[in-house]
Amino acid sequence: MTDGPRLHVLMILDSSYPPLQGGGTEAQVRTLARGLRARGHRVTVFAPVVPPAGNGNVARVDGTPAFRLPFPNIHFIGGLWLMARLALFLYAHRHHYDVWHVHSPRRLGAVAALLGSRLRGPQVVVKVASATELETGTLSPKPNWIGRFQYFCLKRANAWQAISQRICRGIAARGIPADRIAAVPNACDVTRFRPSERASEGPIRFLYVGRLIRCKNLPRLLDAFAELLKTHPSAQLRIVGGGSQDAPLREHAARLNLQNRVEFTGHRNDVEALIADADIGVLPSLVEGLSNTLLECMASGLPMVASRISGSEDMVKPGVNGWLFDPEDTAGLTAALRAAADQTAAQRREYGVQARATIEQTCGLDSVLDRILTLYRGKRIPVNAAMSTAREGV
């Protein structure tokens, strides 16, 4: 399948590709690359080699060539070296690509935006994938001098992809013209993640999938789950993933006497099977852009208990497909877990149907690719069009 003239797209990452374990931005690049190639477009990935990913070389990931560039692990110097190498790469290949799609508004994005404006050739699209960028990153209200210089360069990008309405508003508040901002969410392959038949009897099964790091707010989830067990003693919680907080979280669960009700699986590659074996998805994060796990769980027919943060608040509609709570509110999280556990199997199925419909209509891979290709061709997407379905309900 093709749609319009075939394009050659360069995806630019500031992290290793493919990642060793997880990585939402990298997963999105992989999903988009597969989808674009299936439509007849060409895709190349440029990424640094972050130890211990291995030696830099040209590899292929799902048939997509990836230029993986090693750089010296020296503070500041390593970053400058990498920026210089990217500039040389872009200049040397300036006639090879129609689009430079940068997946982080940081140093490599600044290089691409500045050079693209000088060459007046490739369309430069900058993606803002995390709300953190609006608080402590290049787009923060008071960046340091490096951030100010990067922003000076980034402002020259042709278009900005914001994956949530909150990020849209934040970019506009930082001075990016509205006609350059497009609300285009992360893509979910809804043919891969599909609803499955779930048991109508038995204990309620909650599922978290993601990295075990501080910003995921998992100690609060354990505290709230311990409270839930007072009224729903047979409930189960499965925590899937690895990270720096693995041991502290296991210790915290032991202090709460949750050993028999909470399972830590570590990193797993069979996420579809894990989702199929759950009743309710949980995402208690303090900050996100738009979680891939949220989209995958909802596409698989799981209602979601999620914190009211960037991305989640666009997709989860209380009373329709899930429950929202303020991320610092343990009592609110407990109440959301209890409301989910109180539902009948039929009510959960209906919430799951609505969750699936939300993702199909807002984040399905084909729909997102249509909007991405619109950006690649220099056309405008109305800021509020991309995620209006989720905000209004389905």
Residues 6+ apart with CB under 8 A from 142: none
Q: Give the pLDDT score at 386.
A: 47
Query: Distances from the Cα of 341 to the Cαs of 1, 123, 321, in angstroms?
Result: 44, 49, 14
Question: CATH: 3.30.420.40, 3.40.50.2300, 1.10.260.40, 3.40.50.2000. Which one for 205-362?
Answer: 3.40.50.2000
pLDDT number for residue 24: 87
61 Cβ contact partners less than 8 Å away, ≥ 6 residues apart: 17, 18, 30, 33, 45
Amino acid 40: pLDDT: 96
The pLDDT value recorded for residue 382 is 62
Instruction: Quickly list DSSP for 309-337.
Output: STTHHHH--BTTTEEEE-TT-HHHHHHHH
Q: 3-state DSSP call for residue 385?
A: coil
H or E, element range at 252: helix 246-255
CA dihedral 349, 350, 355, 357 (to 10 degrees): 120
Which pLDDT does position 190 carry in this prediction?
96
* Domain locations along the chain: 8-187+364-392, 205-362
Residue 55 is inside which H or E element, if any?
A: none
pLDDT reported for residue 75: 80
pTM for the full predicted model: 0.91
Residue 56's CB: how many other CB atoms inside 10 A? 15
Instruction: List the chain pLDDT tens, one digit each, 394 residues.
Output: 447 789 999 999 988 888 766 688 999 999 999 999 999 999 999 998 865 555 557 788 899 999 988 888 788 788 899 999 999 999 999 999 999 999 999 999 999 999 999 988 899 999 999 999 998 888 999 899 989 999 999 999 999 999 999 999 999 999 999 999 999 999 999 999 999 888 777 899 999 999 999 999 999 999 999 999 999 999 999 999 999 999 999 999 999 999 899 999 999 989 999 999 999 999 999 999 999 999 999 999 999 999 999 999 999 999 999 999 999 999 999 999 999 999 999 999 999 999 999 999 999 999 999 999 999 999 877 655 545 444 444 4
User: Per the omega criterion (within 30 degrees of 0), is the bond before 52 cis?
Assistant: yes
Q: What is the model's pLDDT at position 49?
A: 80
Q: CATH number of the domain at 8-187+364-392, please?
A: 3.40.50.2000
Q: Do domains 8-187+364-392 and 205-362 have the same CATH topology?
A: yes
